[in-house]
Structure 1
Amino acid sequence: MDSFEKFTESEIITRVLAGEKALYEIIVRRFNPYLYKIGRSYNYKHEDTQDLMQETFVDAYKNLSQFEGRSNFKTWIIRIMMNNCYRKSQKSSFKNEIIQDIKDNSTPMFANSNNDTDKIIHNRELAGIIEDALCHIPLDYWMVFSLREISGLNIAETAHLLNISEANVKVRLNRAKTMLRAAIEKTYAANDLFEFNLIYCDAMVEGVMKRINEI
């Protein structure tokens, strides 16, 4: 599967739709970290987040033919994950807001941000501090913070996913940073937060591929 890592999502999707179902494993491995961060940002526990991730990958597979490439695939699949998180929150009787194009070159809060899971810095203490802090700030702010700073989306993508303006994204992000500044050191990488360890990746791939092979 390593020989396919250079392929774009569009190339992989085209081949999957043409019948090379096994290549969907690349999609699962590539987007595991992003979806995990979204689930944890909604304050779901590890196990619930994994269930939501699996549902999202299966939903995305079922709807691959509807992906038209007008947004990038990361934004598309994150939207599916967010919708699944929202629906679960409604079923659980939690009050939540409905989560539903703008360039930005601002510097992320985490100066050393890097979404390569092979380079994750293991710092459980810091992760615990920030997870706890995020759970105590308003939903409007931590959702923007999560998408922008933890998942690495730009202002345009964040605004599009949350269906808010560029100005609102910037205001909410700045306020979230103010709330969290005391607990966060700039020298830490964003991947310390809500980390999806590589030890879970194979199990997620196995679960998703088993389900789509039954479709």
Structure 2
Amino acid sequence: MTASFERLTEAELVRRVQEGEVELYEILIRRYNPCLYKTGRSYNYNHEDTQDLMQDTFVDAYKNLGQFEGRASFKTWIIRIMMNNCYRKKERSAFKNEIIKDINDNSVPMFTGFDNDTGKMVQNNELGRVIEEALGKLPFDYRMVFSLREINGLNVSETADMLTITETNVKARLSRAKGLLRNEIEKMYTPSEIFEFNLVYCDAIVNNVMEKIKRL
């Protein structure tokens, strides 16, 4: 894909894909591979299961592009599809979410003031695994709020809508999640380094999804 195509807005891409330029869907896949990967891993799915769910989500989104009305961003729309697919998979496995209590709000951004030094991640692969493991141990409700707010960059309103909870609960759960993780990650890592999605895997997802779409 050329740089000119990559500069297209979400609305333009969706419109042109619907009008028959199916190859442009690849741009949307590449844009949102990372956030879907982070979402799947936040449900504690392993790498392989997460990739399968991502492919299903991109195919589902393609088949339902006509339902995308543009009132919310394409990012929040496709994350919601991914979350629904993750939830259904958990339901099939008789997974039961934890029920947690609300806690006090502390809206100080967790990562403010920290440098984006990706070299630290390269030098600390073991610590990276510790971070992922620590996130996986958080109660589900805390983990999902943290993923949507701090890792995927959704705002409070979008997160509340995505999880069908109040904005107050979003802030409360995020505060608790930060408290549980702060000692292990805030001094070393930025949100983008957590569950980093390698470009090699990105290419594989793109190819698999585009092949499935061609067969529809």
CA deviation after TM superposition for structure 1 residue 153, in Å: 1.0
Residue type at the aligned position of 2:180: M
Residue type at the aligned position of 2:151: I
CA deviation after TM superposition for structure 1 residue 3, in Å: 2.2
Provide the C-alpha distance between the structure 2 equivalents of 1:119 and 1:14, rounded to a whole number of angstroms. 39
Aligned pairs for 1:89-100 (under 5 A) are 89-96=90-97
| Correspondence 1:137 to 2:138 | yes
Q: Deviations over 1:151-196 (max 9, x none)?
A: 1111111111001111000000001111111111344221221111
Provide the C-alpha distance between the structure 1 equivalents of 2:120 and 2:72, rounded to a whole number of angstroms. 27
Residue type at the aligned position of 1:154: N
Percent identity over the alignment is 64
What's the counterpart of residue 29 of structure 1?
A: 30
TM-score, normalization by structure 1: 0.89
Aligned pairs for 1:96-111 (under 5 A) are 96=97, 108-111=109-112
CA deviation after TM superposition for structure 1 residue 110, in Å: 2.1
* Residues 37, 150 of structure 1: 8 Å contact kept: yes
* Residues 113, 190 of structure 1: 8 Å contact kept: no
* Residues 109, 186 of structure 1: 8 Å contact kept: no
Provide the C-alpha distance between the structure 1 equivalents of 2:188 and 2:119, rounded to a whole number of angstroms. 14
Task: Please say which of residues 192-201 and 26-35 is displaced more in the overlay.
Answer: 192-201
Provide the C-alpha distance between the structure 2 equivalents of 1:121 and 1:61, rounded to a whole number of angstroms. 34
Provide the C-alpha distance between the structure 1 equivalents of 2:212 and 2:145, rounded to a whole number of angstroms. 32
Aligned pairs for 1:33-182 (under 5 A) are 33-96=34-97, 108-111=109-112, 121-122=121-122, 123-182=124-183
Q: Secondary structure at the match of 1:135?
A: helix
Q: Deviations over 1:39-80 (max 9, x none)?
A: 000000000000000000000000001100111110000000
Over 3 Å counting, the alpha-carbon distance change for 1:3 and 1:207 in structure 2 is same
Over 3 Å counting, the alpha-carbon distance change for 1:166 and 1:119 in structure 2 is farther
* Residues 121, 191 of structure 1: 8 Å contact kept: no
* Residues 110, 186 of structure 2: 8 Å contact kept: no
Q: Deviations over 1:104-153 (max 9, x none)?
A: xx663223598xxx999544233212211112221111110111111111
Larger Rg: 2
Residue type at the aligned position of 2:189: Y
Provide the C-alpha distance between the structure 2 equivalents of 1:62 and 1:109, rounded to a whole number of angstroms. 38
Provide the C-alpha distance between the structure 1 equivalents of 2:63 and 2:187, rounded to a whole number of angstroms. 40
Provide the C-alpha distance between the structure 1 equivalents of 2:32 and 2:151, rounded to a whole number of angstroms. 13
CA RMSD of aligned residues (A): 2.1
* Residues 59, 213 of structure 2: 8 Å contact kept: yes
Task: Please say which of residues 121-130 and 23-32 is displaced more in the overlay.
Answer: 121-130
Residue type at the aligned position of 1:8: T
Residue type at the aligned position of 2:23: A
Residue type at the aligned position of 1:178: G
TM-score, normalization by structure 2: 0.89
> Mind listing any 5+ residue stretches in structure 2 that lack a counterpart?
99-106
* Residues 110, 187 of structure 1: 8 Å contact kept: no
